[in-house]
Structure 1
Amino acid sequence: MSVLVRRLAAGAAAAVLAAGLPAPAAAAAPGYHPSDADWADCPRLPKGATPDTWSCIFIITVGGTMRLGKIEQPLTAPLRITVAQGKTAGGGTAAAFGAVKGERMKVPGGLIGKPFEVPKLTDVYVETEGTGRIEAGPIFPTGVGIKIRMIHPLLGGKCYIGGDSRPIVLNPEIGSLDLTSIDGIAVFKATAKDDRFAVPKASGCGLNWGLVNSAVNLRAGLPSAAGQNSADLQWYVRGKSYTELPDLVS
């Protein structure tokens, strides 16, 4: 069994199910309740991979902050990341992308920033989406590519910071990883941080892309070089071996 599976599956099972050991203390996780829906976006097992060396990993961000240029965004809504990682036939490690799904969040300061914001009129919302980019990491997959859609009537439906060809690439470092439980189900509680990623310019904004893009970039302080942005993340993490996901094994 892979190191990843031992850490996320066997480790939890051993701690919670072994006879004579108490279940881990319950964690407060407002709005998150583990369920089979956590595995809905697990990718299919890559061709040639063996199920017992691969696991699907579900990560839900339940708090924290992201600073992108001049925008400091509290993570007030869940961000769900589903990826997979395991061994290749040659003995290396590989990762597969499942999904990144973020719920809508309001941007502090709105379209023009404080103190000039006008409630409702200048309110801007963001949603985080995946780009399909993923790399294998020592414990969790890393190099996760995201793009952020900005939502306001003046911005149209294709206003993004980052994109499929120029994603924001997150490489979070794990600060802590502790076993706990929610609703009697074992999960890992983790903190992660990344302050090394760059943020590209916005694109696709409004009818006059050049003018509106420039206004968005001025407001957000983009592009923003590596070292000027940060992500402080509070996670809950679950892992399941592909031996328990037969429908995803070719």
Structure 2
Amino acid sequence: MVKFYESSYSYDYSFPAVTLAYFLRYPNPYSTHVLSTDVISRSIDSAGRLQTTRLHRKSSKLPSAVLNLLPKSVLGNVHGGRSESFILETSTIDVKEGWMRTESKNLDWTGILSVVEKQEYKRLLPVDEGEDFSVGAGTTNVLSTVMCRSRLGDRLRARATRKGETAPVEGEEEPKKSFFASWSKTGIQRSIEAIASRKTESQLGKSKEGMMVVLERLRRGGLVGVLEGMRKDQKLVYGQGGT
């Protein structure tokens, strides 16, 4: 079972400015849950395209509706629904053709829910010799596609087949066992995917707002303005001491 979400929008900023803001987007006031970002690799391929792989560490909170669907055996060390998770991000930029493609996916909880977000950024107008590469010139279009897939229903069904639906599961309360026994794997998958889809829609809106903050800082103060803003935002995450 797979749930898709698609959204398209545009930034009234040049393609170089938008791609720079993408790599400088954390932290910002809309992403205080992002704890750190590390570059794993960066290279230029034979076609002159920049290839980058990054790892984001985030503080995540599972929605209470999802927690109610999960048995204790899969919750691990989650306390109050909050834990840390890692997101793997890959990106390719073609400056000459004016496009950037990115893909982000979760590395944790994949047995419960796999979320893959793909984005394509495109320069609206073709390149010419007189193109203005300043921050405020031009328009960049963005197409975001998110795929949510839950395999939890398959796992629960397989476990029930091996042990029998009436066999006790260690560490489980009886009401929750009965709850799972009464659900089909499709029902569980659809519920988790629907919850994830709603959360994804909200997060995409915050992501866009965060990018707008970085772009405005870039327009007003250049790279120095962006770095100063990042320093202030870090205090929101780590406190007055920063990191």
Larger radius of gyration, structure 1 or 2?
2
State if a TM-score over 0.5 links the two structures.
no
* TM-score tier (shorter): 0.3 to 0.5
TM (normalized to structure 1)? 0.38
Name the structure, 1 or 2, with higher relative contact order (CA <8 Å, separation 6+). 2
